[in-house]
Structure 1
Amino acid sequence: MRYFLMMMVMSALVLTGCKSLTGTQKGAAIGTAGGAAAGAIIGRTAGNTAVGAVVGATVGGVTGAIIGNKMDKQAEEMKAQLPDANVERVGEGIIVELSNNILFGFDSYELSSTARTNLNKMITVFDTYPDTDIEVQGHTDSSGSDTYNQDLSERRANAVTSYLVNRGVSSSRLTTVGYGETSPKYSNDTEEGRAQNRRVEFIITANEKMKREAEREASN
């Protein structure tokens, strides 16, 4: 029953976009559904690994609401810095999606000059909010073999992570994952959809220090 309720709550919140809730309220509501277990459920159900990663890091309750408020502010700064990126507040975290045409050339994992400019802007925000963890996810469309796409997604995600580290972002904050073609967010039946699936996503969540501080604030 708990599994069923958790799945229903999370599905309702994520798949409807929680349009009537603020980011802070989403953080509190999603957290009550079960943290990492809920993340695994939603990641599979919604076919969205980024959402699953955010939910998996959720604390919930009043502490989660405080974290959500902090993430609201960080998301607004990220939107201001990266007008071409898709910045979404989900639960207690932030998902930033950058298409590969912003980051890489065709069939390449070498960062473009535009990519470095955009990543430098992200680093400015990361430096302002140091108490967060960052997961970098690489994705491809369904063109080509599974093995090739998996390798390309990993190389692209690693290229981004290496650049962040070389520019001063602590490696302890970073996790890198390549998903190949396994987690499309858009239709692979059209060129536009395939282009959108060629993407790198940044999942920004509270680290242990932020969680402890939010917990202390919630208990006062």
Structure 2
Amino acid sequence: MKRSIAAALCVATFGTTACASLNNTERGAGIGAGAGGAIGAVIGRQTGNTARGAIIGAVVGGAAGAVIGRRMDRQAQELETIPNTEVQRVGEGIAVTFESGILFATNSDVIQSAGQSNLRQLAASLQRYPGTEVLIVGHTDADGSDDYNMGLSLRRASAARNYLVGQGISSSVIRVEGRGESEPVADNTTAAGKSRNRRVEVAIFASEEYRQQVLRENGSQ
């Protein structure tokens, strides 16, 4: 059942072409416990979207998934009030994109005052909705070397994580990744495209503990 749920969410979120490219081994990973995580990791690699892959990896589906989804709907509506952010409901989670220019100055991993305000609002939301996990993914444009950009993106993701921890969010529920210039969302040959590529993405999804709680309360799917 989990494989079919993850496959359906894969198609709904990323399209038939990307999901059809899963090989037999990857499809087989969808059978049994941990199916969502395995498929989510594959989706993240193949579509170039680590944050959304993590959300798909936390899929539950069925009645329990509907409960989690309604909760995420409410949280997403609150997050939409944060300035200079893009908030999207993805599967049973939320993808929040911060413009890197709001959080950080050029070539810096020090959070600016406007970025601190945004992260405080995010932390307040996470506190109101416990039972979630967070993946923070840093991205850069294509200027500079691959190694430099990878390091900068990780430092920025880590800085955002540290700020959230300072706001009272447990470090155990936050993971970070730096993707450098490897997951562009726009053309790196234009100034506008580079600006879009310089971003920090936050994936919010139900924790394993909360997923199991909802499954117990709503019946295993």
How high is the TM-score relative to the length of structure 2? 0.84
Letter in 2 for 1:110: V
- 8 Å CA contact 2:135, 2:204 repeated in 1: yes
Q: Secondary structure at the match of 1:185?
A: coil
Q: Secondary structure at the match of 2:176?
A: strand
- Consecutive unaligned residues in structure 1, runs of 5 or more: 17-30
Report the CA distance shift for 1:11/1:170 in structure 2 as closer, same or farther (over 3 A): closer
Give the superposed CA RMSD: 2.4
Q: Shift in Å at residue 131 of structure 1? A: 1.0
Please give the residue correspondences for 1:193-212 in structure 2 after superposition, counting only pairs within 5 Å. 193-212=193-212
**Cα deviations across residues 88-146 of structure 1 (Å, max 9, x unaligned)?**
00011101000111100111111101011111111110110121011111111111100
Q: Secondary structure at the match of 1:96?
A: strand
**CA distance, structure 2, for counterparts of residue 130 and residue 144 of structure 1:** 39
| Alignment partner of 1:91 is 2:129 | no
Q: Shift in Å at residue 10 of structure 1? A: 4.5
Report the CA distance shift for 1:152/1:56 in structure 2 as closer, same or farther (over 3 A): same
**CA distance, structure 2, for counterparts of residue 84 and residue 144 of structure 1:** 25
- 8 Å CA contact 1:97, 1:199 repeated in 2: yes
Q: Shift in Å at residue 74 of structure 1? A: 0.8
Q: Shift in Å at residue 48 of structure 1? A: 1.3
Name the residue aligned to 1:78: 79
| Alignment partner of 1:13 is 2:7 | no
Letter in 2 for 1:74: Q
Report the CA distance shift for 1:151/1:209 in structure 2 as closer, same or farther (over 3 A): same
Aligned residues: percent identity? 43
Name the residue aligned to 2:48: 47
- Consecutive unaligned residues in structure 2, runs of 5 or more: 16-29
Name the residue aligned to 2:186: 186
**CA distance, structure 2, for counterparts of residue 112 and residue 166 of structure 1:** 15
**Cα deviations across residues 138-163 of structure 1 (Å, max 9, x unaligned)?**
11111110000011001111111111
Q: Secondary structure at the match of 2:209?
A: helix
- 8 Å CA contact 2:185, 2:197 repeated in 1: yes
**CA distance, structure 2, for counterparts of residue 7 and residue 57 of structure 1:** 9
- 8 Å CA contact 2:6, 2:56 repeated in 1: no
**CA distance, structure 1, for counterparts of residue 9 and residue 68 of structure 2:** 18
Letter in 1 for 2:66: A
Q: Shift in Å at residue 6 of structure 1? A: 8.2
- 8 Å CA contact 1:47, 1:185 repeated in 2: no
How high is the TM-score relative to the length of structure 1? 0.84
- Which stretches of structure 1, 4 residues or more, deviate above 3 A after TM superposition? 5-11
Report the CA distance shift for 1:8/1:163 in structure 2 as closer, same or farther (over 3 A): closer
